[in-house]
Amino acid sequence: MKKGEKISMSREQVFKKRGELFALRHVINLSSDLLDTPDFYWDRQELENLYQQICNHMNITKRTKVMNERLSYCSELIDLLGNHMNDKHHVRLEWMIIILIMVEVMFECIHFVELVFH
């Protein structure tokens, strides 16, 4: 896009990429136990403390936040591509409508000329 070259992705591919990003965000935030303490540790206080220490040492919360920010950036890029492709599609439809109106006007002019000269 920066170079002004043609985008080689189709609208369907952009739609699939958008779905992949949402699925990845779902796995990170909702389907995994990265952000919550698993139920296993609730009745094992000493293991829960160890689990929390490991999570703090590995910066799980911070890493998850960074990953979400990166996914948001990717999502914005895919939205930009999708909007660009939709705009191109709308412009093509508008030109088709303009051409159809011009053809209709041309036929009406021909019909008017036939009425006047006959």
pLDDT in tens, 38-73: 777 778 888 888 888 888 898 888 888 999 999 999
Question: What is the Cα–Cα distance from 26 to 32, expressed in whole angstroms?
Answer: 9
* Residue 26 burial (C-beta neighbours within 10 Å; 0-12, 13-18, 19+): exposed
Question: For the residues 105-117, what does the mean pLDDT come to?
Answer: 94
Round the average pLDDT of the chain to a whole number and report it: 89
Q: What is the pTM of this model?
A: 0.67
Is the pLDDT at 18 greater than 90? The verdict is: yes
Is the pLDDT at 74 greater than 90? The verdict is: yes
Side chain identity, residue 24: L
Residue tagged 């540790």 (tokens)? 41
pLDDT band, residue 75 (cuts 50/70/90) = very high
